[in-house]
Structure 1
Amino acid sequence: MSPIAHRPAGPALLDLPGQTSVAEGPLDLNGMYLAHHAFRRDLASFARAAAGTPVPEREVWRALGVRWERFGHVLHHHHSAEDEVLWPQLLDLVDGQGDADGRATLEAMETEHHLIDPLLAGCAEGFAAMAERPEEGTRQQLAGCVGRTREVLAHHLRHEEEEALPIVQRLLSQEGWDAVEEAAGSGTSIQRMRFLVPWIADGLTRPQLDAAFASVGNVFRVVLWGTRRRYARETSLAFRFA
């Protein structure tokens, strides 16, 4: 009998568009799934925008650069919390069980993170160049960089959902998961929250939003109410041609 059979049932977990697996178990992983949904959604929009935004549209390119900076900051912070808090805990646990396959999965998670950061930086440079000196050749290079980033991150998110998160549910304690969520939420300024909350909520149905608020706290309803209009205006400008 697997170790998870002895653990209590957990909350209802989200199954969002693009998500490839739901890791059932005692821990509330909905914050993870919400972030993954937002990463996938934005990268699809960035890919369309990079390919479709006319070269002379400097205002739109500037808005895209700002949106990419925010997107990249959230993604980097998300991965840092995993690298610094989540994977080290799990590596100790799988090693304690002599689980070589589990160690290989977790080491792959870290390796995949290292592939993503240079791509984020390269795309940021491309968006900045389009805002300053818009050229068709630069736009084409940027579109390729965004497409590659989307491809690499899609593989990573699928790998994490299908192989790493089941390890989380099987082995990690509630205290261990609380430490991960604390790290994920640390250092988030009020200004960042004004973007982060409507960004997470973007594209969710009412039942999905209700489940999200149940996981992250109803205070986020108030933040969403106060930030969604500005977020919608900024998103509409950045992705005007997406």
Structure 2
Amino acid sequence: MTAPTTHPAQLLLPGQAAAPEGPVDLAAMYVMHRAFRRDADAFAAAAAATPVADRRRWARLSRRFALFAGILHKHHHGEDVGLWPLLRERGADPEVLDAMQAEHAHIDPLLASCSGDLAALARGAGEETRRRLIGCTARLRDLLSAHLGHEERDGMALVQRHLGPADWQRLDREVFAKEYRPRDIPAVLAWVMSGLPDEAARRMPGANPVMLAVGRLLVRRFERAEARTFG
């Protein structure tokens, strides 16, 4: 008889569409997805609620959107140059992989449009720009939510079917981690840990008591800035 394979318990966070079982612990992917959903919801709400004349608030929102958009771009770039090509090599379903990349291509123009309108409002643009931004952030929220759900259901199922823990660790080390400079890490750590339950934070790559303690300190400062930005 063959001994049963023990797979890691997968992290399932609020709003997450799925957590396919398999040999790879995908907690790192899921904590990033949670933060992307949080931000997309927050920007859509802020665009609708912020008075057009509040240039100081628009400037804060513009800077904060740059953090969100930058992390999302790096995340998608790592998938496009590392994860999806490796899955193709392993014989994963090309229709799913093509859809993942096509969805990235639809999200990028929305990021650019929202960023431009936020910057314009910070310079004093009028109600027409705000109305356009309201539509843009709502479309971004909806499209990103649909993409993340698709990736969780189908993309991560391919990961579990075709990759192993060593493949995933190598991708994290050689592709995703290289998207960030050392000076980027404190901001990204605070961003991803903000609002994240402790048990989920302990599942992040490299998590240890020192990193988590530093992260909590960074989160407190980050969340004070969040309150000024989003209200």
TM-score range, shorter chain: over 0.9
| Residue of structure 2 equivalent to 1:74 | 71
Whole-angstrom CA distance in 2 between matches of 1:7 and 1:46: 46
CA deviations 1:133-161 (Å, max 9, x no partner) are 23111111001111111111111111111
Structure 1 position 196 matched with structure 2 position 188: yes
Equivalent residue, structure 2, for 1:141: 132
Which residue number in structure 2 is paired with residue 230 of structure 1? 221
- With over 3 angstroms needed to count, the CA separation of the structure-2 counterparts of 1:107 and 1:41, relative to structure 1, is same
SS in 1 for 2:101: helix
Given that 1:89 and 1:176 are in contact with CA atoms closer than 8 Å, whether structure 2 keeps it comes out as no
Name which of 93, 110, 117 aligns with 2:108.
117
Instruction: Give the letter aligned to residue 152 of structure 1.
Output: L
The offset of 1:124, in angstroms, is: 0.4
1:44 pairs with one of 41, 45, 50: 41
* Structure 1 stretch displaced more, 25-34 or 197-206: 197-206
Residues 1:210 and 2:207 aligned together: no
Structure 1 residue 217 displacement after superposition: 1.7
How many equivalent residue pairs? 228
Q: Which moved more, 1:216-225 or 1:59-68?
A: 216-225
CA–CA distance in 2 between the matches of 1:7 and 1:176? Answer: 22
Offset at 1:210? 3.1
Matches within 5 A, 1:15-164: 15-94=12-91, 102-164=93-155
Q: CA deviation at 1:175?
A: 2.8
Deviations 1:189-235 (A, max 9, x none): 343222111211122223333334xx442143143133123211221
Percent sequence identity over aligned pairs: 38
State the AA in 1 paired with 2:129: T
Q: Whole-Å Cα distance in 2 between the matches of residues 165 and 7 of structure 1?
A: 22
Per the TM alignment, residue 7 of structure 1 is displaced from its structure 2 partner at its CA by 8.6
Aligned mates of 1:48, 1:59 — CA distance in 2: 17
Distance 1:45 1:145 in 2: 13
Please say if residues 107 and 143 of structure 2, whose CA atoms lie closer than 8 Å, have aligned partners that are also in contact.
yes
SS in 1 for 2:125: coil
2-structure distance, mates of 1:89, 1:161: 17
Structure 2 gap segments, 5+ residues each:
none
Structure 1 Cα separation of the partners of residues 54 and 7 of structure 2: 48
By relative contact order (CA 8 Å, sep 6+), the higher-ranking structure is: 1
Counterpart residue identity of residue 73, structure 2: H
Provide TM-score, normalisation by structure 1: 0.88
C-alpha distance in 2, partners of 1:145/1:80?
A: 22
Q: d(CA) in 2 for partners of 1:88 and 1:209?
A: 29
Q: Deviations over 1:61-94 (max 9, x none)?
A: 1111011101011000001111111101111212
Q: Which residue is 1:99 aligned to? A: none
